[in-house]
Structure 1
Amino acid sequence: MLISLSLLGFGNVGRGVAQVLLEKKEWFRRKYGLEFRVVSISDSSATIWDESGIDLMEALEVKKTFGSLSYWGDEYSIYHLSPIDVARKVESDVFIDVTPANPEAYKWYMEAFRMGRHVVTSNKPPLVFHYVELIQEAAMRGVNYRFEATVMAGTPIITLLQESLLGDEVDSIEGVFNGTTTFILSEMEKGLTFDEALKKAQALGIAEANPDVDIKGFDAAYKATILHNVAFEPMSFKKVEIRGIDDVSPEDIKRAKAQGNVIRLVAKIEKKRVSVEPVEIPKTSPLAVYGTSNVAVIKSDLMGEIVLRGAGAGVKETASAVVSDIIKCVKRE
């Protein structure tokens, strides 16, 4: 079965998705009977669009060499389309959005749904602020809206909640969902100050140049809200209690360490209540992760406690979630 794809975003994750589609092309054909054809690729400068399919190897080389798709030669037509124009005009089975976080992206998805396209995304704000209307529109149009990559990268917590615990009532979820804050706190445990740890994270590409979304707790709060929406019911982000790690001092770290504990930015999710804040926890706790790992502890009535641990970031890991979602959208049972 031939599946056409429209790829919006050609940064690290977008290129990672293209690499997986290229390298595992034959494997997808053998295992699932699926052949993927990327008919458009958009970066911040241009859209390359060809209904007969784009050479992914060449696309990756152009991006690597020139840093922009607008520098491509004469082989493909170069268009300057808005994301909503791509959703409307480019004929594809699946609309894939791996652009940076953007609340306005929900408008692109609504248009894609109206055109009968599945949507796969790593973009968190639409799920946080427009969950109900997106889910309802996708259901009404008979298409899929999948977003595994929005929480814990490729670690399949969304799939677990949506598809694997159908007979369970979830009581609570606790988790560490932001690798940047875990890295900073881990480095502070080694003796660095907050500023030193942040600069190290930025130098390694773990933290953004403007790290506020991470260190002030908003990224973890977005992810926790998405999990609440999936596990329980839609919840207003305004009701989420948020405190970041920017006021955690070296003295706090030392005091916790002396007690055999660590401090982590912990999200707590119960029905109609979500909080994100630095919490002192025992080193033996499942939540005591290090580096950029993420972890979730799910408690339900039948299964009891499930601990899900994995990479919370990374190109390959996020691409894994995106590609898995593409396959789920189109695979015949």
Structure 2
Amino acid sequence: MNHHDLALIGFGGVNRALAEIIRDRGDALADELGFTLRVVAITDLRLGSLVQQDGIDLHHVLTLPVGATFAGLPGGEAVPQNEDVIRACGADIVVEATFTNPVDGEPAVSHVRAALASGKSVTTTNKGPVALAAAALNRLAAENGVRFEYEGSVMSGTPVLRLAKETMKGLRISRVQGVLNGTSNFVLGRMEAGLPLADAVAEAQALGFAEADPTADIEGSDVQLKVVILANELFGAGLGVDDVERRGIDGIRPEEVARAAAEGRRWKLVGTVARDDAGRISASVEPLLLDADHPLFGISGATNAVAITSDLLGTVTMSGPGAGREETAYALLSDIIAIDARQRARAEVVR
């Protein structure tokens, strides 16, 4: 049976949820998937660094009291040493789940680069390194015989990238449209019910859908990064963030939302990538007024969805959760499964 040692970079909600899955379902997953998982390193801004090559007691670290650090544990330090831990620990897969920096992708880009350069595969849910540096990081992964996987960077645990790239091979995709930000979608829905924008945002924050600073959601920059990823992964476009035109929902007035609802239409913040007959790629993020027959019309609340239009299938729509700690942790697990499958396939070729 195969075995993988993991290093968790960041120990917030998502990586904690992954640790809980491994703790609670590890034996069942091993039986189902044919490999075992063990966490040998964790780094976190609040907790510090912990390296235990024989495996970390996940129950213990998951139940540390508030305010505790790793300093009192064998192999623990109060200050995180992310890149040093990444290079030196015995993990073969690094799980990067730190915050997204939309400007330069740091420190996540450096975390991923350090892991790949030291011969470790990487899975991440972080949009920054994928949108801003995926091409270079994938080259580095190939040079070192490892994998860089990032299914969760667009729709959390809903597998849009793998669906389009693997299951839909042989199709010529002409357009991808998506409701890719649950916060903005929830806010528009509450505005449709009569709330002003500010009140709808406050409700989203109270329910945990929106961050304390909702700017990236409301102004569309979160979707902009996801559109870059879709354009480059599904169309090979080679786009940067500045190539994607962006408008958020902050300019939509309540009366516009009410008028649209009275007409049987609905505002959605939509990310679009399209290829014309000449092969030119365009990409945008903007509020669109959708008719009831549009495949994204009925996507409500914090749900995400993509509609993929191709030559042989027409439009295929996939919807699912675009956030959530367990849902996003599943995206990381799905990447680990993909890494294991690639390793097995390479081993069979060598034989």
Normalised TM-score (structure 2): 0.91
**1: CA distance, partners of 2:151 / 2:32:** 21
Q: Which segments of 5 or more consecutive residues in structure 1 lack a partner in the other structure?
A: none
Question: What per-residue deviation string (whole Å, max 9, x for no partner) do you get for residues 217-267 of structure 1?
Answer: 000111111011101122121111000001111111011011101101011
- Which among 133, 147, 151 is matched to residue 148 of structure 1? 151
The answer (yes or no) to whether the contact 2:49–2:82 under 8 Å persists in 1 is no
Corresponding position of 2:33: 32
Using the TM superposition, give the Cα deviation of residue 79 of structure 1 relative to its aligned residue in structure 2, in angstroms.
5.6
Matched, 1:80 2:79: yes
**1: CA distance, partners of 2:218 / 2:67:** 29
Corresponding position of 1:311: 321
**2: CA distance, partners of 1:196 / 1:229:** 36
Identity %: 36
Aligned partner of 1:281: which letter? Answer: L
The answer (yes or no) to whether the contact 2:51–2:85 under 8 Å persists in 1 is no
Corresponding position of 2:92: 93
Once structures 1 and 2 are overlaid, which stretch shifts more, 138-147 or 101-110? 101-110
Aligned partner of 1:258: which letter? Answer: A
The answer (yes or no) to whether the contact 2:173–2:309 under 8 Å persists in 1 is yes
Matched, 1:125 2:128: yes
**2: CA distance, partners of 1:186 / 1:251:** 13
Corresponding position of 1:239: 243
The answer (yes or no) to whether the contact 1:172–1:268 under 8 Å persists in 2 is yes
**2: CA distance, partners of 1:159 / 1:136:** 19
Q: Which segments of 5 or more consecutive residues in structure 2 lack a partner in the other structure?
A: 276-280, 346-351
Using the TM superposition, give the Cα deviation of residue 83 of structure 1 relative to its aligned residue in structure 2, in angstroms.
2.4
- Which among 241, 264, 274 is matched to residue 283 of structure 2? 274
1:1-333 aligned at under 5 Å gives the runs: 1-45=2-46, 46-62=48-64, 65-70=65-70, 73-78=72-77, 80-102=79-101, 103-104=105-106, 105-233=108-236, 234-271=238-275, 272-288=281-297, 289-331=299-341, 332-333=344-345
Q: Secondary structure at the match of 2:283?
A: strand
The answer (yes or no) to whether the contact 1:98–1:122 under 8 Å persists in 2 is yes
**2: CA distance, partners of 1:308 / 1:315:** 20
Aligned partner of 1:329: which letter? Answer: I
For these two proteins, the number of residue pairs brought into alignment is 330
The answer (yes or no) to whether the contact 2:141–2:147 under 8 Å persists in 1 is yes
Q: Secondary structure at the match of 2:53?
A: coil
Using the TM superposition, give the Cα deviation of residue 303 of structure 1 relative to its aligned residue in structure 2, in angstroms.
2.4
The answer (yes or no) to whether the contact 1:109–1:119 under 8 Å persists in 2 is yes
Using the TM superposition, give the Cα deviation of residue 86 of structure 1 relative to its aligned residue in structure 2, in angstroms.
2.3
The answer (yes or no) to whether the contact 1:43–1:69 under 8 Å persists in 2 is no
**2: CA distance, partners of 1:284 / 1:301:** 20
Question: What per-residue deviation string (whole Å, max 9, x for no partner) do you get for residues 78-131 of structure 1?
Answer: 263432222212221101011111312212211211111000001101111112
